[in-house]
A and B are shown apart, each in its own frame.
Chain A
Amino acid sequence: MTRTTPTALLRKLRVRDDHSLADCELLLKFARERNQDAFEELVARHSPMVLGVCRRGLANPADAEDACQAVFLILAQKAKSVRWQTSVANWLYTTARKVARNARLSASRRAVREARAATPELTSPVDAMSGRELLTALDEELEKLAPRYREPLVLCHLEGLTRDEAASRLGVPVATLKGQLERGRKRLAEALTKRGCALGSALLLAASASGLNAMPARLQESINAAVAGTPSTAVAELMKVTLVNNAFSKLKTLALTVVGLTALVFGVGSMPTAAEPTKPEKAPADKSEKPTPPPVAEKAKPENKEAMLTGRVLGPDGKPVAAAKLYQPARKTLEPISRDDIATVEVGKTDELGNFSVKLMNESPRNYLIAYSPGLAVDWLEIERSVDLTKPIELRLPKEMPITGRVMNTEGKPVKGVRVSLGSIYVPLNNDLDGYLAGWLKSLRETLSTPVKRLYLPLDGIAGAAMTDADGRFKLNGLGEEYLAYLLFEGAGIARSQPQVVARKGFDPKPFNDELRKKEHDDLVVLNRFLGLVGPDFVFVVEPGRVIEGTVTASGKPVAGCHVFAHTGWGDGVSALTDKEGKYRLEGIPKRKLGYSVSVQAPKSSGLLSTQGTAVETDGVGSVRVDVKLSRGVIVSGRIIDKQTGKGVQAGVRLAPLPGNKFFGATPGTDNYRGDRTMTSTDAEGRFRMNTIPGKALFMVQAHSDEKFAGQYLNPYRQAIPDPDHKDLFAYDADDDSWRITTVDNSLEFLSTEQTVKVIEVKEQGETTIELTVDRGVVGKIAIRDAEGKPLAGAYVAGLTASWPITYKLPEATASIYALNPEKPRKIAVFHPGKKLAGTATVRGDEKEPVIVKLVPVGTITGRFMEDSVPLANAEITVNPPNRILSELYRFTVQERPKVITDAEGKFTLPDIVPGVDFYIQTRRGDNYYAGKPKLGLQSLKPGEKKDLGERTLERRQ
Chain B
Amino acid sequence: MKTLDPVWAPFTPEDTNPWDLRRVAHLHRRAGFAGTWGELQRDLQNGPEKSIDRLLAGKASLHAPPEFASTANVLGDAAVATNESGRIKAWWFYRMLFGPDPLGEKLTLMWHNHFATSNAKVQDLAFMRRQNETFRRLARAPFGELLNASVREPALLIYLDASANRKGHPNENLGRELMELFTLGVGNYSEDDVKEAARCLTGWTTEDGKFTEVPVKHDDGEKKVLTKKGTLAGSDLVKLLLENPATAKRLVWRLCDTFFGEKAVSVEAMKSLADGLIEKNLDIGWALGVMLRSKAFFAEANIGTRIKGPAEFIVGTARALEMFDPAPSTLALADWCGRMGQDLFEPPNVGGWTGGRAWIGARSMITRANFVAALVEGTNAGRSKAHDPSELARQHKLPTDANALITFHCRLLLGGDPTPNLIARLAKGMDRKMVALLLATPEFQLG
Residues of A with Cβ closer than 8 Å to B?
111, 114-119, 132, 135, 138-139, 142-143, 150, 153-154, 157-159, 168, 171, 204, 207-211, 408, 410-413, 493, 509-510, 513-514, 517-518, 521, 524-525, 528-532, 539-541, 543-544, 591, 593, 619-622, 868-870
Q: Is A621 in contact with B81, judged by CB distance below 8 angstroms?
A: no
Interface residues of B: mostly helix, strand, loop or mixed?
Answer: helix
**Complex CA–CA separation, A132 to B74 (angstroms):** 35
Q: Is A114 in contact with B370, judged by CB distance below 8 angstroms?
A: no
12 inter-chain pairs at a CB distance below 8 angstroms, sorted by A residue, are A114-B348, A139-B364, A207-B362, A211-B370, A410-B94, A412-B71, A413-B327, A525-B83, A619-B335, A620-B335, A620-B336, A621-B381
Q: Is A529 in contact with B81, judged by CB distance below 8 angstroms?
A: no
Q: Is A870 in contact with B217, judged by CB distance below 8 angstroms?
A: yes
Q: Is A117 in contact with B98, judged by CB distance below 8 angstroms?
A: no
A514, closest chain B residue (CB): B126
**Complex CA–CA separation, A621 to B357 (angstroms):** 29
Q: Is A143 in contact with B381, judged by CB distance below 8 angstroms?
A: no
B residues 112-143 near A (Cβ < 8 Å) are 118, 120-121, 123-124, 126
Q: Is A529 in contact with B370, judged by CB distance below 8 angstroms?
A: no
Contact of A143 among B126, B328, B335, B361 (CB under 8 A): B361
B residues 274-329 near A (Cβ < 8 Å) are 325-329
* Distance from A214 Cβ to chain B, minimum over Cβ atoms (Å): 9
B9 adjacent to chain A (CB < 8 Å): no
**Complex CA–CA separation, A413 to B75 (angstroms):** 11
Q: Which of A138, A410, A541 has the most CB of B within 10 A?
A: A410
With contact pairs A620-B381, A622-B380 given, residues A115 and B161 touching in the complex (Cβ less than 8 Å): yes
B95, closest chain A residue (CB): A412
Contact of B81 among A171, A513, A544, A869 (CB under 8 A): A513
B265 adjacent to chain A (CB < 8 Å): no
Q: Is B351 in contact with A159, judged by CB distance below 8 angstroms?
A: no
With contact pairs A210-B370, A413-B327, A513-B81 given, residues A868 and B217 touching in the complex (Cβ less than 8 Å): yes
11 A-B pairs besides A158-B362, A868-B216 with CB distance below 8 A are A117-B350, A135-B363, A158-B365, A159-B366, A204-B362, A210-B370, A410-B75, A412-B71, A509-B81, A591-B86, A869-B216
A209, closest chain B residue (CB): B366
Residues of B with Cβ closer than 8 Å to A?
65, 68, 71-72, 74-75, 77-84, 86-87, 90-91, 94, 97-98, 118, 120-121, 123-124, 126, 159-161, 166, 169, 172-173, 176-177, 180-181, 214, 216-217, 325-332, 335-336, 339, 348-351, 357-358, 360-367, 369-371, 374, 379-382, 384, 425, 428
**Complex CA–CA separation, A168 to B123 (angstroms):** 46
**Complex CA–CA separation, A158 to B329 (angstroms):** 25
* Distance from B123 Cβ to chain A, minimum over Cβ atoms (Å): 6
**Complex CA–CA separation, A139 to B327 (angstroms):** 32
Contact of B363 among A116, A207, A521 (CB under 8 A): A207
* Distance from B252 Cβ to chain A, minimum over Cβ atoms (Å): 21
**Complex CA–CA separation, A574 to B97 (angstroms):** 32
**Complex CA–CA separation, A824 to B384 (angstroms):** 68
**Complex CA–CA separation, A132 to B348 (angstroms):** 10
Chain A residues contacting B379 (CB-CB under 8 Å) are 622
Q: Is B362 in contact with A139, judged by CB distance below 8 angstroms?
A: yes
* Distance from B379 Cβ to chain A, minimum over Cβ atoms (Å): 5
Q: Is A118 in contact with B217, judged by CB distance below 8 angstroms?
A: no
Chain B residues contacting A116 (CB-CB under 8 Å) are 173
A522, closest chain B residue (CB): B123
**Complex CA–CA separation, A272 to B358 (angstroms):** 53
Contact of A412 among B75, B123, B124, B366 (CB under 8 A): B75
**Complex CA–CA separation, A242 to B259 (angstroms):** 50
**Complex CA–CA separation, A207 to B366 (angstroms):** 11
Contact of B380 among A143, A413, A619 (CB under 8 A): A619
Chain B residues contacting A528 (CB-CB under 8 Å) are 84
Q: Is A142 in contact with B362, judged by CB distance below 8 angstroms?
A: yes
**Complex CA–CA separation, A509 to B81 (angstroms):** 10
Q: Which of B77, B84, B358 has the most CB of A within 10 A?
A: B84
**Complex CA–CA separation, A138 to B86 (angstroms):** 27
In the A-B complex, list the 4 residue pairs whose CB atoms are closest, starting with the nearest: A139-B361, A620-B380, A622-B380, A117-B349
**Complex CA–CA separation, A528 to B84 (angstroms):** 8
Q: Is B363 in contact with A209, judged by CB distance below 8 angstroms?
A: yes
**Complex CA–CA separation, A117 to B72 (angstroms):** 34
With contact pairs A412-B65, A619-B332, A619-B339 given, residues A529 and B361 touching in the complex (Cβ less than 8 Å): no
* Distance from A106 Cβ to chain B, minimum over Cβ atoms (Å): 14
* Distance from B155 Cβ to chain A, minimum over Cβ atoms (Å): 12
Chain B residues contacting A115 (CB-CB under 8 Å) are 121, 159-161, 173, 350
* Distance from A374 Cβ to chain B, minimum over Cβ atoms (Å): 32
* Distance from B445 Cβ to chain A, minimum over Cβ atoms (Å): 12
With contact pairs A118-B176, A143-B357, A410-B94 given, residues A619 and B374 touching in the complex (Cβ less than 8 Å): yes
B123, closest chain A residue (CB): A521
**Complex CA–CA separation, A410 to B235 (angstroms):** 40
Q: Is A208 in contact with B363, judged by CB distance below 8 angstroms?
A: yes
Chain A residues contacting B82 (CB-CB under 8 Å) are 529, 531-532
Q: Is B362 in contact with A541, judged by CB distance below 8 angstroms?
A: no
Contact of B327 among A411, A509, A525 (CB under 8 A): A411
Chain B residues contacting A518 (CB-CB under 8 Å) are 124
Q: Is B71 in contact with A410, judged by CB distance below 8 angstroms?
A: no
Chain A residues contacting B77 (CB-CB under 8 Å) are 510
A409, closest chain B residue (CB): B329
Q: Which of B68, B348, B349, B428 has the most CB of A within 10 A?
A: B349
**Complex CA–CA separation, A202 to B214 (angstroms):** 53
Chain A residues contacting B371 (CB-CB under 8 Å) are 619
Chain A residues contacting B68 (CB-CB under 8 Å) are 412
Chain A residues contacting B349 (CB-CB under 8 Å) are 114, 117
**Complex CA–CA separation, A540 to B123 (angstroms):** 23
Q: Is B75 in contact with A541, judged by CB distance below 8 angstroms?
A: yes
With contact pairs A115-B161, A154-B365 given, residues A539 and B74 touching in the complex (Cβ less than 8 Å): yes
**Complex CA–CA separation, A139 to B365 (angstroms):** 11
* Distance from A146 Cβ to chain B, minimum over Cβ atoms (Å): 14
Q: Which of B71, B72, B79 has the most CB of A within 10 A?
A: B71
**Complex CA–CA separation, A290 to B67 (angstroms):** 46
**Complex CA–CA separation, A157 to B365 (angstroms):** 12
Q: Is B382 in contact with A544, judged by CB distance below 8 angstroms?
A: yes
Q: Is A543 in contact with B370, judged by CB distance below 8 angstroms?
A: no
Q: Which of A157, A171, A208, A591 has the most CB of B within 10 A?
A: A591
Q: Is A143 in contact with B360, judged by CB distance below 8 angstroms?
A: yes
Contact of A411 among B159, B216, B329, B357 (CB under 8 A): B329
B173, closest chain A residue (CB): A115
Q: Is B330 in contact with A621, judged by CB distance below 8 angstroms?
A: no
With contact pairs A115-B350, A210-B339, A868-B166 given, residues A544 and B121 touching in the complex (Cβ less than 8 Å): no
Q: Is B380 in contact with A411, judged by CB distance below 8 angstroms?
A: no
A542, closest chain B residue (CB): B78
Chain B residues contacting A210 (CB-CB under 8 Å) are 339, 366-367, 370
Chain B residues contacting A530 (CB-CB under 8 Å) are 83
**Complex CA–CA separation, A138 to B330 (angstroms):** 30
Q: Is B367 in contact with A413, judged by CB distance below 8 angstroms?
A: no
Q: Is B98 in contact with A543, judged by CB distance below 8 angstroms?
A: no
A534, closest chain B residue (CB): B81
**Complex CA–CA separation, A111 to B347 (angstroms):** 11
Q: Is B362 in contact with A154, judged by CB distance below 8 angstroms?
A: yes
Chain A residues contacting B374 (CB-CB under 8 Å) are 619-620, 622
* Distance from B203 Cβ to chain A, minimum over Cβ atoms (Å): 10
* Distance from B264 Cβ to chain A, minimum over Cβ atoms (Å): 20
Q: Is A158 in contact with B98, judged by CB distance below 8 angstroms?
A: no
Q: Is B126 in contact with A517, judged by CB distance below 8 angstroms?
A: yes
Contact of A541 among B78, B181, B384 (CB under 8 A): B78
Q: Is B74 in contact with A411, judged by CB distance below 8 angstroms?
A: no
Chain B residues contacting A157 (CB-CB under 8 Å) are 362
Chain A residues contacting B124 (CB-CB under 8 Å) are 517-518, 521
* Distance from A538 Cβ to chain B, minimum over Cβ atoms (Å): 10
Q: Which of B79, B123, B181, B332 has the most CB of A within 10 A?
A: B332
**Complex CA–CA separation, A111 to B350 (angstroms):** 11
Q: Is B94 in contact with A620, judged by CB distance below 8 angstroms?
A: no
**Complex CA–CA separation, A528 to B85 (angstroms):** 11
